Amino acid sequence: MPVGKGGWFEASAPIRVEGGIQARSRRGSIGERWWSRRFIDILEGICDSGRLTRGRAYARKGQVLEIDLSSGLVNARVQGSRPQPYRVSVRIAAYGERDWAGIQEALAGQALYRAKLLAGEMPSEIVEVFDSLGLPLFPSELDMECSCPDWGFPCKHLSAVLYLLAEAFDEDPFLVLAWRGRAKDDLLDALRGMPLDDEETPDPLHVDDVPFGDRLNDFYSAPVPLSRLRPRPGHPSAPPELLLRALEPPPIKVRHIPLLDILRPAYRELGPRP
């Protein structure tokens, strides 16, 4: 590879690849759904804009040969200007069983989040559930390596992999959770097996369905002594953005950010103050 003044490597054209992984987006930003845009926003905040631009070009040309995502690790191979493809790795902290037990319990306690996840959807409020446990869903920093000689960081090969990773999140948002250490099937099986809050607490006013003829002697007796009855807890007030959750999200974006993600904070500001 030619070397320019001051020891910097001069730009050279990459070797053309047949059958590489090609970004679906052909222009503008990459990432369509809120979870992939959240990941892209993090990248654009910590990475050099010039190399991100070249990385997008690599992703769109199909220079990435393969990407393998596992718990806490993404491995990839990217074809550059040398015959041997470069090896790329991106690491984040994967949460352990104890952390995931707490996450699953918190998700199961929210009927709406649980229902959406079991339906294959990723509610945007899931970020708040993770944050409330001190376990962020999206990483604020990435441990990245590439075998190329580029001194800049991240290089265009890393950037290409990160953009394709964002598009993979578009296709399957559960990959974000798998990267944090919990595969989709394992999470959904755990949520299905966890009782809802109202299943865990017996109803003191419950009466078994017994034929009338078997209850002639005690039909007018209270099934529970009155001294044991306690006031039922009041139901929490509906969140101010409940309407946004219930309606089908409109296909409208503002600077590549879904309209619902912009409206949600405004609805919360208009809601009642604690």
Which residues are CB-neighbours of 93 under 8 A, at least 6 positions away? 72, 139, 180
Instruction: Give the separation between CA 110 and CA 124, rounded to whole angstroms.
Output: 13
**DSSP secondary structure string, the chain?**
--B-GGGPBPP-PPPP-SS-B--S--SS----SHHHHHHHHHHHHHS-HHHHHHHHHHHHHT-EEEEEEETTEEEEEE--SSSSPEEEEEE-PPP-HHHHHHHHHHHHT-HHHHHHHHTT---TTHHHHHHHTT--SS-SS-EEEESS---SSS-HHHHHHHHHHHHHHHH-THHHHHHTT--HHHHHHHHHHSPPHHHHS--TT------GGGGTTTTTS-SS-GGG--PPPPPPPPPTTHHHHHSPPPS-EETTEEHHHHHHHHHHHHS---
Render pLDDT for 162-219 as a digit per residue (tens, 0 to 9). 989 988 988 888 999 999 999 999 999 998 887 655 444 444 445 566 676 776 777 6
- What is the side-by-side order of every strand in the sheet holding 86-91? 64-70, 73-78, 86-91, 143-146
**Is 43 buried (19+), middle (13-18) or exposed (0-12) by CB count in 10 A?**
buried
Render pLDDT for 49-107 as a digit per residue (tens, 0 to 9). 777 888 888 999 999 999 999 999 999 999 998 999 999 999 999 999 999 999 999 99
Measured in whole angstroms, how far is the alpha carbon of residue 44 from the centre of its chain? 18
pTM greater than 0.85 (yes/no): no
Domain residue ranges of the chain, discontinuous segments joined by + = 15-195, 244-274
Q: With bands split at pLDDT 50, 70 and 90, how would you rate the model's confidence at 240?
A: low
Question: For residue 153, is pLDDT > 80?
Answer: no
Q: With bands split at pLDDT 50, 70 and 90, how would you rate the model's confidence at 10?
A: very low
Render pLDDT for 62-72 as a digit per residue (tens, 0 to 9). 999 999 999 99
